[in-house]
Amino acid sequence: MKITMVVFDGVQALDVAGPLDVFAEANTFLTADQQYEMTVVGLHAGMVTCSNGMALHVPNDYSSHPEKCDLLLVAGGPQLPGSKPDHAFLAWLQEQAAQAGRFGSVCNGAFLLGHAGLLDGRDATTHWSDAKLLAEQFPLTRVVPDKIFIRDGRMFTSAGVTAGIDLCLSLVAEDWGHELAVRVAKRLVVYIRRDGGQSQYSPYQAADLEEVSIVGKVLKFVTEHISETLSVEQIADAVGVGRRTFSRVFAKDAQVTPSVFIEQVRIDFARKLLEETDVPMKTIAYRCGFHSATHMRMIFTRRLGVTPMQYQQRFHATEHAEHA
């Protein structure tokens, strides 16, 4: 099975190495006629410098690589959201995707697929911090920001960096069965399937908003009164805006309703306590304004796809230090 990985100057090294290592490990369990054959293709041949400064030797440039592949993957990189790809490269990408059995992207490599018109009318995801921009640049794409990876027909897109490993483990499972994918995951010491979506990894984006904006004022007020029961009327009064005007203006600026915003702030406070302390669940729920530990568990499960206990087990600072 032939795999083509597309790279470029400034590529995220792990977007390349992670997925390819999944297939390389799978090869150790496969017979000679079952092997994954991996080729790295660049915008130019020779040395490619990754975003972390590491150099990759790329034997083939895209223009001299017309060979069909079974799987075409485009890696991501920090500069992609603002880049303008070459038309000749995009034409090649379109042709390769049309001929490939499957194609897709790792992290914000989705932007290259978008520029090539390959995301039009499809469900896609990318790193949570780039999801809004992806939707703005490619309005014909249905961006699903909270997925670790997503499939739409022959196309696969994935979230940030290590999500490329999750994606490729799923492809190995599709090709050779779940048991082999589990064996590969064990070799790489990673989860065969991570619970929840990207929300469990991303901090609330309003945290950096200036206090002069209505969203910033609300964030400040909610933060200072996080343990209290807060009504929309109370918050509107606190920021000096009428109830009807407040709900309309806030939803426009924050892209969520006030109640959803408050719930997310409570979740973020709870996450911080779960990560940094050993405070009992009931106490965390009280401090963060949830009705009870049961209520907090219900909100976490609905919004993050994991329970507070699961979140703490995964992200607690003490556990990270012990396994570092």
Q: What is the pLDDT of residues 196-247, one digit of tens each?
A: 555 545 544 334 444 557 887 888 888 889 999 998 899 999 888 888 888 8
CA geometry: angle 89, 91, 93, nearest 5 deg: 70
Q: Are 167 and 42 members of one domain?
A: yes
Q: Are 182 and 250 members of one domain?
A: no
The lowest-confidence range among 36-45, 80-89, 265-274, 282-291 is: 265-274
The pLDDT, as a whole number, for residue 192 is 52
Q: Are 13 and 121 members of one domain?
A: yes
Q: Which residues pair with 4 in a beta bridge?
A: 39, 72
Domain count, the chain: 2
Query: How far is residue 278's CA from residue 280's CA, in Å, rounded to a whole number?
Result: 6
pLDDT, mean of residues 95-111? 95
Q: Are 168 and 267 members of one domain?
A: no
pLDDT confidence tier of residue 322, bands split at 50, 70 and 90: very low
The pLDDT, as a whole number, for residue 74 is 97
Q: Are 196 and 229 members of one domain?
A: no
Q: Are 261 and 312 members of one domain?
A: yes
The rounded mean pLDDT for the chain is: 86
- Tell me the catalytic residues: 107
For a pLDDT cut of 70, what percent of the chain falls above it? 90
Q: Are 63 and 184 members of one domain?
A: yes
The pLDDT, as a whole number, for residue 213 is 72
What are the φ/ψ torsions at residue 7 (nearest 5 degrees)?
-130, 175
Q: Are 303 and 181 members of one domain?
A: no
Domain that holds residue 214: 207-323
